[in-house]
């Protein structure tokens, strides 16, 4: 079952639902964010720049027609993927963090999630 938070204050509203998965030393956590936290999660990818060094990969991609950003530590085999769930307003995102998993494998795992359904639910 997912865990969630619903907060509202002077700075706006934040709603999250999180679910974690673990197999051996591999882990993946998926969080749906609505509000300021979703916009902050997208901030590193706003410029659309790709950065690749022997240690790290940061890039933006299209995932099922949605904007997505990947931040991957090659040595640690861990990082995060942020998918904007709203094309009009970046206030909703699916944020996936993973450890001991290659980013291409994390994207394959994401194929099992109903990302398009999530996107239509937050419009």
Q: How far apart are CA 102 and CA 114, in angstroms?
A: 21
Dump pLDDT digits (tens) for 21-74.
Answer: 999 999 999 999 888 888 889 999 999 999 999 999 999 999 999 999 999 999
Phi and psi torsions of 64, nearest 5°: 55, 40
Q: Which two tokens stand for residue 83?
A: 């998918």
**Tell me: the pLDDT tens digits for 3-29?**
666 667 666 666 667 889 999 999 999
């Amino acid at each position: 079952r997912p865990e969630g938070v619903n907060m509202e204050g002077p700075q706006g509203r934040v709603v999250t639902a999180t679910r974690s998965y673990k197999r051996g030393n591999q882990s993946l956590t998926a969080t749906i964010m609505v509000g300021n936290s979703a916009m902050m999660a997208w901030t590193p990818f706003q410029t659309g720049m790709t950065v690749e060094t022997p240690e790290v990969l940061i890039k933006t991609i299209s995932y099922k027609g949605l904007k997505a950003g990947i931040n991957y530590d090659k040595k640690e085999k861990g990082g995060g993927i942020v998918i904007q769930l709203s094309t009009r307003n970046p206030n909703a995102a699916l944020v996936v963090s993973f450890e001991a998993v290659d980013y291409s494998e994390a994207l394959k795992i994401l194929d099992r999630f109903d990302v398009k359904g999530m996107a239509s639910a937050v419009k």
